[in-house]
């Protein structure tokens, strides 16, 4: 059965969601700025694409309910840090860390939490770098600081996460052992692939530095 906020709490939550949306847009602008810089002022852009999403009231209610919290806007604000979420998909695994560093070094951002599931993947095989950053938003009479969860991973890791999420949902969180094992093996394969692709890229870069480009 669906869990829902009461009328009054729903109105409060909707007002808060406006602020989360502003924080998310603020973060998106920062990432777009990096993309512009990398694409136009540097040799290459490591960011393939960006996705952003605001958690719906239904999903917020579900998550609070799952954690045994009362469905209030205040609990959503104080207990959840992923109401505003962004995914930054990059070309190579090493780019993940440089992007996380560049974002978290911005002087008006505060790091609330970091999880390195690239260095230490989850038991499922999930790989991604999570960083929760507090972003300031400037209102008419106040500055609000809101958390935005940024998940940074390669295209291959993203492909894996999307499939695993879909399969998990299909099996209602009770996946057969054989599928759990296959997904884990795929995740290992993906890590190997990411590494090999990076090696090829490094060799290509090195070759470009020492030899002029061949024109046919």
Q: Using CB under 6 A as the criterion, which residues of the chain lie in contact with ligand 0O2 when the complex forms?
A: 81-82, 85, 115, 122, 124, 126, 130, 161, 164-165
**13, 16, 18: which is closest to 70 by C-alpha?**
13
Taking the complex as a whole, how short is the minimal distance between the CB of residue 143 and ligand 0O2, in angstroms?
Answer: 25
Give the CB-nearest residue to ligand 0O2.
126
User: What's the min distance (Å) between Cβ of 94 and ligand 0O2?
Assistant: 21
Nearer to ligand 0O2 among residue 30 and residue 130 (C-beta): 130
DSSP-derived pairing of the beta strands 143-154 and 129-138:
antiparallel
Cβ proximity to ligand 0O2: between 45 and 180 the closer is 180
Region for residue 173 given its phi and psi (left: phi exceeds 0; alpha: psi -120 to 50; beta: otherwise): left
Round to whole Å and give the CA distance between 113 and 149. 9
Which residue, 34 or 64, has its beta carbon nearer to ligand 0O2? 64
SS3 assignment, position 215: coil
Greatest distance between any 2 Cα atoms in the chain: 69
Least distance in Å: CB of 7 to ligand 0O2?
A: 25
């Amino acid at each position: 059965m669906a869990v829902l906020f009461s009328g009054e709490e729903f109105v409060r939550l909707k007002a808060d969601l406006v602020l989360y949306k502003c924080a998310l847009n603020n973060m998106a602008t920062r990432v777009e700025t990096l993309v512009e810089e990398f694409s136009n002022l540097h040799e290459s852009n490591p960011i393939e694409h960006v996705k952003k999403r605001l958690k719906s009231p239904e999903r917020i209610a579900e998550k609070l309910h799952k954690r045994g919290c009362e469905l209030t806007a205040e609990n959503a604000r104080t207990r959840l840090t992923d109401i505003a979420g962004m995914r930054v998909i990059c070309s190579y695994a090493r780019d993940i860390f440089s992007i996380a560093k560049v974002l978290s070094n911005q002087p008006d951002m505060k790091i609330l939490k970091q999880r390195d599931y690239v260095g230490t993947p989850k038991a499922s095989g999930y790989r991604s770098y999570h960083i929760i950053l507090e972003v300031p938003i400037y209102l008419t009479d106040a500055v609000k600081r809101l958390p935005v969860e940024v998940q940074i991973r390669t295209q291959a890791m993203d492909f894996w996460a999307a499939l695993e999420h879909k399969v998990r949902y299909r099996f209602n969180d009770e996946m057969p052992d054989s599928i759990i094992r296959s997904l884990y093996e795929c995740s290992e394969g993906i890590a190997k692939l990411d590494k090999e692709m990076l090696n090829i890229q490094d060799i290509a870069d090195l070759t470009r530095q020492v030899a002029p480009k061949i024109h046919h």
